[in-house]
Amino acid sequence: MFDFFKTKKNYENLSSSAFKAMISENPTAVIIDVRTALEFKQGSIPKAINIDLMDVNFSQKIAQLSKDKTYLVYCRSGNRSGSACKYMGDNGFGQVYNLSGGIMSY
């Protein structure tokens, strides 16, 4: 069977409990909030860095990150972070995890 039209998913969606477990089990993991700066200021997961997916410099900021680390990515509902995770996976990041349901589920 041919898989020409199937898109390979190169990141993993995690439930809120699994995401929290990853944070506690991986102290060197990088937590990325891809919401806007305003959303980030209104509340974020401790130790998260803000790299706005909609920022024109998003790809440049991601390119500066080490591809050898574990990345835990989230947004408000999980949609933007899913896009960010796909972008990261497509660009050689091997350990990328999306918070399914976003910070609203956290």
How many angstroms separate the Cα of 94 from the Cα of each of 2, 46, 68?
25, 23, 7
- Tell which residue, 33, 82, 91, has the closest CA to residue 64: 91
The whole-angstrom separation of Cα 95 and Cα 89 is 8
Could you tell me the CA-to-CA distances from 41 to 44, 45, 50, 105 in Å, in that order? 7, 11, 9, 18
Q: At a CB cut-off of 8 Å and minimum separation 6, what does 59 contact?
A: 87
State yes or no: is 85 an active-site residue: no
What tokens appear for 10 in the block?
Answer: 């190169």
Residue of 14, 31, 75, 84 marked catalytic: 75
Active-site residues: which are they?
75
